[in-house]
Structure 1
Amino acid sequence: MGGGAWSVLVAGGTGVLGARIVDRLVRAGHDVFATTRRPERTASIEACGATALLMDALVPADVTRAVETSRPDLIIHELTDLAEFDFGGNARLRVEGTANLVAAARAGGVDHMIAQSIAWAYEPGEDLADETVPLARAEDGSPAFGSVESLEEAVLSLGRGVVLRYGMLYGPGTWYSPKGGAYYRRAREGEVVATTAWTSFVHVEDATDATVAALTWPRGVVNIVDDAATHVDEWGPALVAVAGGAVSSISARAEGRAASNARARSLGWKPRHPSWRESWSQYYE
């Protein structure tokens, strides 16, 4: 696939990242199809110039229909189910939804897919994790993030599968947004419960930039994180302070590991928001 306008199917086209990606691709002149499982969200897709497709990623026939209708040159996989903190539902979507999407892509002759993954799933360690570092394991040796590994394996089975391991998203529409963000609300009450203690953040607009840039990247895994790796002992109190609270509890569910963005930079991407520290001082003022 060369340059010029492409046909792109964005699976999950109304989420915090999906909606931005759809808008950017339309503005760049691509022929964009975007999926949603909610009829009331089709209008927002059409309003930005894309074609809306109703699709439940857990229904194979729906996914097949979406691929057959759009006949894409590539598929961007931004499917999530986290609006209500349904981590079980999101894990199922990563496994079954991805399998359905990859199967439909194969049937439709599409071998190019870009998919959302996470940058905090690496095995614990003090150094920044590049993409060669293994993902974390439970005590019995099983994957600590099984649904993530399933998603990545499925996407990378395609000839041009690209996995983007995004850092923790912040900015408008995210959990850290002053306008309705769940983590911001908890911080205002003095409480921070981090997914992992060691954290790599990325602004939602930088994640969007990286996803659009990845249209021309080679097969493989790429961390999409800012330059300012941090620990919850630093960023937790900072979040509470900007939210106007007083610290009552700072904790983390796992130790985790921060990630390196060296590979993404070698591919030509660099964050416009290189440090959450400076960005937060502006974003939350």
Structure 2
Amino acid sequence: MHVFVAGATGAVGRLLVPLLLETGHQVTGISRTPRGTERVRRQGASAFQVDVFDREALREAVMTAAPDAVIHQLTDLAEADGEATNRLRREGTRNLVDAAGAAGVTRIVVQSMSWMYVPGEGPADESVPLDVGAAEPRGGLVEGIRALEETAAELATAVVLRYGVLYGPGTWYAPGGPAAGALAGDPSARFLGSVEADLSVTSFLHVTDAAHAAVAALDWPSGPVNIVDDEPAQGREWVPVLATALGLPEPRPTSGKASWARGAANGLARSRGWNPAYPSWRTGFSAQGS
């Protein structure tokens, strides 16, 4: 299969491109920069230098590549810029889906998030609705996810990967990243708001497992799938483990709970044969450099 990867040099994309090649797929990736484009080519894939906000350039790139499927891994995780990522979800997805449609592509795999469900008790499965109408700033994030998923669904087959909170190289939780800064007491460091509160529940996902899920999803039917590890955990459990893995002192507990921070269930993904290499953040945090 010829796969067009948008976000080929991001935290997931940089792992995804070689995985696709190893499994026998032909790959075309895009990057905004010459450096990123060259990186994709060094991995053995074809590449275009394209900004996804340039509708015409993106359309030309997809039509020239003529892929069988598109994988959407567009984020701005490295810069910890939630609004920039949300714009990618809205406008970038719109442009990518329009370009795919013009090229006759009928299959897309997109990166979504598993902590956008309505508040409730216990980990959410895919039948739980999104938290549309939530108060700001969460409301804007949910709306961006809703727009991303609905736009992707305009193609005949749209697999929506609702990733857990990503950690590993290139993410907020990597050594030297925003989470490390926040744990070290840097007041300018950006974290994920109230998910670190001691009673809030988070589902995590190592970027390696995210990439493997995207490859597997090329054969999955349409619809959302939670891609998370096996152990949703309260902040009072995982924050000290993360601090230790990053070589930082254990912070003071942060009281409280975000009602929406309930974690997610991965039964559907596992039923399709997806098995995470890092089934728990307990071991995964210490492997972030690998």
The TM-score normalised by the length of structure 1 is 0.90
Instruction: From the superposition, tell whether residues 108 and 281 of structure 1 become closer, same or farther in structure 2 (CA, over 3 Å).
Output: closer
Name the counterpart of 1:230: 233
CA contact 2:11–2:77 (8 Å) conserved in 1: no
SS at 1:94 equivalent? helix
Residue 258 of structure 1 aligns to which amino acid in structure 2?
A: G
CA distance in 1, matches of 2:152, 2:256: 30
Tell me how far 1:185 sits from its aligned partner. Answer: 3.1
Map Cα deviations across residues 196-253 of structure 1 (whole Å, 9 max, x no partner).
3321001111111111111101111100000000111221232223332141463789
Instruction: From the superposition, tell whether residues 281 and 96 of structure 1 become closer, same or farther in structure 2 (CA, over 3 Å).
Output: closer
Name the counterpart of 1:163: 160
Name the counterpart of 1:181: 177
Q: Which moved more, 1:56-65 or 1:233-242?
A: 233-242
Map Cα deviations across residues 99-153 of structure 1 (whole Å, 9 max, x no partner).
1111111111111000000111111112111101011133579776101100000
CA contact 1:193–1:250 (8 Å) conserved in 2: no
Identity score, percent:
44
Q: What is the aligned counterpart of 1:270 among 260, 269, 275?
A: 275
The TM-score normalised by the length of structure 2 is 0.88
Map Cα deviations across residues 2-52 of structure 1 (whole Å, 9 max, x no partner).
xxxx11100110001011111111122221100001112111111110011
Instruction: From the superposition, tell whether residues 87 and 251 of structure 1 become closer, same or farther in structure 2 (CA, over 3 Å).
Output: farther
Q: What is the aligned counterpart of 1:215 among 210, 213, 218?
A: 218
Map Cα deviations across residues 138-178 of structure 1 (whole Å, 9 max, x no partner).
35797761011000001122111110000011122322122
Q: Which moved more, 1:165-174 or 1:275-284?
A: 275-284
CA distance in 1, matches of 2:5, 2:77: 18
**Residues 1:85 and 2:53 aligned together:** no
**Residues 1:13 and 2:11 aligned together:** no
**Residues 1:32 and 2:27 aligned together:** yes
Runs of 5+ consecutive residues of structure 2 not aligned to the other structure: none
Q: Which moved more, 1:34-43 or 1:190-199?
A: 190-199
Name the counterpart of 1:154: 151
**Residues 1:130 and 2:118 aligned together:** no
CA distance in 1, matches of 2:121, 2:53: 38
What is the number of equivalent residue pairs in this alignment?
279
CA distance in 1, matches of 2:36, 2:134: 42
SS at 2:79 equivalent? coil
CA distance in 2, matches of 1:122, 1:202: 17
CA distance in 1, matches of 2:231, 2:152: 28
**Residues 1:117 and 2:112 aligned together:** yes
CA contact 1:202–1:224 (8 Å) conserved in 2: yes
Map Cα deviations across residues 50-94 of structure 1 (whole Å, 9 max, x no partner).
011111111110110111111000000011123322222211111
CA distance in 1, matches of 2:25, 2:221: 20
**Residues 1:204 and 2:207 aligned together:** yes
CA distance in 1, matches of 2:140, 2:283: 35
Instruction: From the superposition, tell whether residues 194 and 88 of structure 1 become closer, same or farther in structure 2 (CA, over 3 Å).
Output: closer
